[in-house]
Amino acid sequence: MKRAISASILITFVFFQCYSQSDLRNGYVILNNNDTIFGLINNGSKKENSLKCVFARDPKSEKITYYPGDIRVYRFTDSKYYISRAINPSDTEKVFLEFMFDGIIDLYYYYDMGDHYLAEKNNSGLKELKNETITKRINDKQYVQESKEYIGILKVLYKESPAIANKVESLSLDHNSLIQITEDYHNAVCPDEGCITYSKRKINAELSFGPLTGITFSHLSVEEYNIIFDRFHFPPSSTGIAFGGFLNIRDPFISQKISVQLEAAITRTKYSTDISYLNLTTLKIPILLKYTFPFKKLQPSLMAGLGYNYILNFNNYNPDYGNFELLKVRDLYSLTGGIEAAWMFNSKTSAFIQFRYEHSIGYHHIGIWDDRPNWENMFSTYFNNIYLVTGFKF
């Protein structure tokens, strides 16, 4: 079964990779002759967007790859905005710089082995806002500090507003902070807002949540260590139910496709024969890394992560020995992975179905039987679970 599950996940991953390399969104390009062409643009990673623009007139058209220098501008509708430009006047090669702010002071961003921020005032030339890590050794002790070169540059740029220039001392070098302080500067020196041509929306973490429920197919094996052993007589496999909720967190600046999902769910499973049974209730708290392929309506995802499980109820009965009471060590630790298909009703709401596999282990549980209350029985549990889960995301 493990081989079949692994093979199916691998095949699914390869299939998605083959058919989901593009995240095409509405936009336009401006050619070097100033002609504007509307169509679809691939929303790639930060690095990809700085290096190339993959464009198609419509979903059925052949994709064209434009490199810096091939076009002047490309822009996603009501979203990110890139211009082709050399960073230094002496540079022979250009990059696509993302416009963060267009006004008296222009702000740009590009990615090349890290985040790079640039500022320009009144077309006087680009100045990079740097904050490099410096290592110093003083009296045989090593110290690490930040250069914070950007503070001095921004103070000069904002000198017409001393109040804004003073705020630079505590400014972080990131998208939101730079956009906000530059807006504040323009509001101070140009209150009629006629100086602001474009301002990128501030980037905030996106949160989504929802309920989930499903069916579990569980295989349990028990390893006993004490003199009292071989008392757990129940079938190794059974079905159960699961229900709970999740919180999904995504930072669009880091990635449009990768998110972290936190879950809390209760599972209930009964392993039973005609004469004995085990009722098992478990709290499961997995942390999953999720990769979503951003198709417009049907969005598949891959997920994998670690989990902490806690046995809430371990109700085992055997007619020969009575009831078993679990006394200590209710913890289990798990690895999980799976695939998801979500149907998007709109940009915020969707319904999804998931197929998951989980392997969990719990070591050295301790409990007692009714007929031997003075003998502690130590055992470990090993679970291989398959889940079919459905739910809604808001």
**Using one digit for the tens of pLDDT, what is the confidence trace for 337-359?**
999 999 999 888 999 999 999 99
- The whole-angstrom separation of Cα 4 and Cα 100 is 48
Half-sphere exposure for 319 (CA within 13 Å, toward CB): 5
- The whole-angstrom separation of Cα 185 and Cα 178 is 11
Q: Which residues does the chain have with pLDDT short of 70?
A: 1-22, 192-194, 227-229
Phi, psi of 165 (to 5 degrees): -60, -35
**Are the CB atoms for 318 and 296 separated by under 8 Å?**
no
Res 227: pLDDT: 61
User: Coil, strand, or helix at residue 52?
Assistant: coil
Closest CA to 336 of 267, 279, 272: 267
Q: What are the boundaries of each domain within the chain? A: 23-199, 206-393
Interval 186-237: pLDDT, tens: 888 887 666 777 878 777 788 999 999 999 999 999 988 876 667 888 888 9
Cα separations in angstroms, 78 against 39, 57, 207, 263: 14, 18, 21, 33
**Residue in this structure with the two tokens 């008296």, named with its chain if needed:** 104
Closest CA to 47 of 295, 204, 257, 255: 255
User: Coil, strand, or helix at residue 360?
Assistant: strand
- Name the β-bridge partners of 28: 38, 75
Res 15: pLDDT: 47
Q: Which long-range contacts (CB under 8 A, 24 or more apart) does 308-312 make?
A: 308/284, 308/332, 308/333, 308/334, 309/282, 309/283, 309/284, 309/285, 309/333, 309/334, 309/360, 309/362, 310/282, 310/283, 310/285, 311/280, 311/281, 311/282, 311/362, 311/365, 312/266, 312/281, 312/282, 312/283
**Residue in this structure with the two tokens 């417009």, named with its chain if needed:** 296
**b/e per residue, 353-385, with b = 16+ CB within 10 A?**
ebbbbbbbebeebebbbeeeeeeebbbbbebbb
**Are the CB atoms for 381 and 332 separated by under 8 Å?**
yes
> Where does 86-205 show beta strands of DSSP type E?
95-102, 105-111, 115-121, 127-129, 133-138, 141-146, 198-199
User: Coil, strand, or helix at residue 172?
Assistant: coil
- The whole-angstrom separation of Cα 168 and Cα 156 is 10
Q: Where are the alpha helices (DSSP H) in the chain?
A: 2-19, 46-51, 149-157, 162-167, 175-189
Q: Which residues contact 58 (CB under 8 A, 6 or more apart)?
A: 39, 40
Closest CA to 261 of 80, 111, 389, 174: 389
Res 3: pLDDT: 53
Closest CA to 129 of 137, 138, 121, 139: 121
Res 8: pLDDT: 47
**Are the CB atoms for 85 and 110 separated by under 8 Å?**
no
**Are the CB atoms for 345 and 351 separated by under 8 Å?**
yes
Specify the fold of 206-393. Answer: Porin (2.40.160)
